[in-house]
């Protein structure tokens, strides 16, 4: 049998871990990895990753090394040979395009090293076309109607003058963040961990606007609408229209915003005005907002129902046909911890015996109780220092120092635990057809010497 790599390393490990070891490292497939690493195979793997592996005895069988697994971000299906970097006004050219129509780009983890994510490093997620930029932002109209005592039609200028502005630093995260970690591959843009950012948002509380309208007791759900045209150009179709239960909508942290990091919203992020629904999938935070419809039933707009932004209640067989009765809306986003410094693939000088780490963690509606780190493939763990959030829904930065016994190849793993005690898994669990909620531990490769 030929050892030609006819598929990517990720595909090989996903479909047949033992064959992947044989192809990548020259290992005989009738040996366990433990036996393989006890002989010449260890030297072969060391050459492949760039150095000796001090904790090789703890390396899980069939696990693709982080040096290969996360060496490059995901690329669009049309560009399978490597990442395509973004070329867009006002944006970093280090963002990675994972969808071209509509435009979708993620932020590599090491670019999320700021306490407040700069606009140029903030991810992009569109569902339709980008609308034309309005010339008079303050004349932009927003309607609040439906199950309210008083229908409101407010211009942005009136919104600014009639309600008290507030600023909150809050995470915005795509519902599909982490999708690429599912096996078998789920439908949609293949996000790694980069479909998230934490900006300073300035606007008015959604709850204050709704109180002015007077929400009726019959109110159940909301429907959010934006001005982005459907990809087809058909004016009768919505690009996306999602909503949330009224209880969530009334969370005092939800905002109708017109500023991002103290600057007017860029067009790509919803200029002149957008929603920020804290802690829930970013799809509920409509850009180019022009209507909030208060409804007496669950919203049925584009992106609601079926398997759209929905997860299985009971675990389903990966790749199996979904039973719609077993699905519920994805609500609070799951706990996630990432290493933002050093970056994956960092090479350190020979003799380096400690590495200072920085990272970010967040947990949707919840807080992060603990962040743990491992340098020996999960055999032992140590805790990081987790900072307090600036306000609710802010991410929590963390720092740690790990000591290395010798030169060689190391994997640094991080896992977060939320305030309920729910911990990130080793692998993405609860497979679903559209790959929501994938939050396995983040790991990076570091080579010393």
Among 284, 305, 329, the domain boundary falls at 329
Neighbours of 169 (CB within 10 A): 19
Written as tens digits, the pLDDT of the chain (449 aa) is 444 445 556 666 667 766 776 666 655 444 455 544 555 667 777 888 888 999 988 988 777 888 877 544 444 554 456 799 999 999 999 999 999 999 999 999 999 999 999 999 999 999 999 999 999 999 999 999 999 999 999 999 999 999 999 999 999 999 999 999 999 999 999 999 999 999 999 999 999 999 999 999 999 999 999 999 999 999 999 999 999 999 999 999 999 999 999 999 999 999 999 999 999 999 999 999 999 999 999 999 999 999 999 999 999 999 999 999 999 999 999 999 999 999 999 999 999 999 999 999 999 999 999 999 999 999 999 999 999 999 999 999 999 999 999 999 999 999 999 999 999 999 999 999 999 999 999 999 999 99
Q: Is residue 210 part of a domain?
A: yes
**Residue 246: its pLDDT value, please?**
98
Instruction: For residue 96, give the H/E element and its range.
Output: strand 96-100
Q: Is residue 229 part of a domain?
A: yes
Asked whether residue 220 falls in the same domain as residue 298, the answer is yes
Asked whether residue 344 falls in the same domain as residue 324, the answer is no
**Residue 12: its pLDDT value, please?**
67
Asked whether residue 398 falls in the same domain as residue 322, the answer is no
Asked whether residue 320 falls in the same domain as residue 340, the answer is no
Q: Is residue 79 part of a domain?
A: no
Q: Which residues pair with 443 in a beta bridge?
A: 413
* Model pTM score: 0.93
Q: Is residue 4 part of a domain?
A: no
Asked whether residue 383 falls in the same domain as residue 411, the answer is yes
Q: Cite the beta strand spans of 274-404 per DSSP E.
A: 274-276, 289-295, 310-312, 327-329, 336-341, 346-348, 354-362, 368-374, 382-383, 385-386, 396-403
Asked whether residue 179 falls in the same domain as residue 232, the answer is yes
Number of compact structural domains in the chain: 3
The parent domain of residue 412 ranges over 336-448
Q: Please provide the size of the chain in residues.
A: 449
Cα→Cα distances 390→18, 116, 173, 385, Å: 46, 11, 18, 16
Asked whether residue 232 falls in the same domain as residue 141, the answer is yes
Neighbours of 42 (CB within 10 A): 18
**CATH number of the domain where residue 431 is located:** 2.60.40.650
Asked whether residue 228 falls in the same domain as residue 370, the answer is no
Asked whether residue 303 falls in the same domain as residue 173, the answer is yes
Q: Is residue 101 part of a domain?
A: no
Asked whether residue 126 falls in the same domain as residue 232, the answer is yes
**CATH number of the domain where residue 227 is located:** 3.90.420.10
Largest alpha-carbon pair distance within the chain?
77
Q: Which residues pair with 341 in a beta bridge?
A: 358
Q: Is 33 exposed, middle or buried (0-12, 13-18, 19+ CB in 10 A)?
A: buried
Q: Which residues pair with 328 in a beta bridge?
A: 311
Q: Is residue 356 part of a domain?
A: yes
Q: At what angle do helices 40-49 and 17-25 cross, to 10 degrees?
A: 80
Q: Is residue 73 part of a domain?
A: no
Q: Is residue 176 part of a domain?
A: yes
Asked whether residue 156 falls in the same domain as residue 222, the answer is yes
Asked whether residue 249 falls in the same domain as residue 296, the answer is yes
């Amino acid at each position: 049998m030929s050892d030609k790599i006819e598929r990517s390393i990720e595909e090989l490990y996903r479909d047949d871990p033992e064959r992947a070891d044989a192809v990548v490292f020259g290992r005989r497939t009738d040996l366990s990895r433990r036996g393989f690493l006890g002989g010449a195979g260890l030297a072969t793997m060391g050459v492949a990753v760039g150095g000796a592996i001090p904790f090789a005895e703890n390396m899980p069988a069939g696990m693709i090394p982080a040096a290969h697994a996360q060496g490059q971000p995901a690329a669009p299906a049309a560009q399978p040979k490597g990442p395509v970097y973004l070329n867009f006004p006002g944006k970093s050219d280090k963002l990675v395009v994972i969808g071209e129509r509509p435009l979708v780009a993620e932020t590599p983890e090491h670019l999320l090293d700021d306490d407040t994510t700069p606009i140029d490093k903030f991810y992009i997620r569109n569902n339709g076309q980008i609308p034309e930029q309005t010339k008079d932002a303050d004349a932009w109209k927003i309607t609040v109607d439906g199950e309210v005592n008083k229908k409101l039609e407010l211009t942005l200028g009136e919104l600014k003058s009639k309600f008290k502005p507030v600023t909150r630093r809050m995470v915005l995260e795509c519902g599909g963040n982490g999708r690429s970690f599912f096996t078998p591959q789920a439908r949609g843009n293949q996000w790694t961990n980069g479909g998230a950012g934490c900006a300073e948002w300035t606007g008015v509380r959604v709850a204050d606007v709704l109180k002015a309208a007077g929400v009726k007791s019959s109110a159940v759900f909301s429907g959010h609408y934006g001005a982005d045209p459907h990809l087809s150009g058909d004016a009768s179709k919505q690009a996306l229209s999602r909503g949330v239960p009224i209880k969530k909508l009334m969370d005092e942290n939800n905002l109708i915003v017109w500023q991002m990091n103290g600057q007017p919203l860029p067009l790509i992020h919803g200029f002149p005005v957008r929603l920020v629904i804290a802690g829930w999938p970013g799809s509920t935070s409509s850009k180019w907002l022009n209507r909030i419809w208060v409804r007496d039933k669950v919203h049925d707009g584009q992106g609601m129902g079926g398997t759209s932004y929905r997860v299985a209640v009971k675990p389903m067989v990966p790749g199996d046909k979904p039973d719609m009765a077993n699905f519920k809306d994805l609500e609070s986003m799951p706990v996630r911890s990432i290493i933002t410094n050093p970056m994956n693939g960092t090479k350190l000088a020979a003799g380096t015996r400690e590495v200072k780490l920085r990272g970010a963690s967040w947990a949707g509606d919840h807080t992060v109780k603990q962040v743990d780190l491992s340098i020996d493939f999960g055999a032992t763990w140590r805790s990081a220092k987790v900072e307090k959030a600036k306000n609710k829904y802010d991410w929590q930065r963390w720092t740690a120092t790990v000591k290395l016994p010798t030169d060689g190849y190391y994997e640094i793993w991080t896992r977060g635990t939320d305030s309920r005690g729910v911990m990130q898994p080793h692998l993405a669990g609860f497979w679903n057809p559209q790959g929501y909620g994938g939050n396995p531990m983040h790991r990076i490769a570091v080579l010393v010497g």
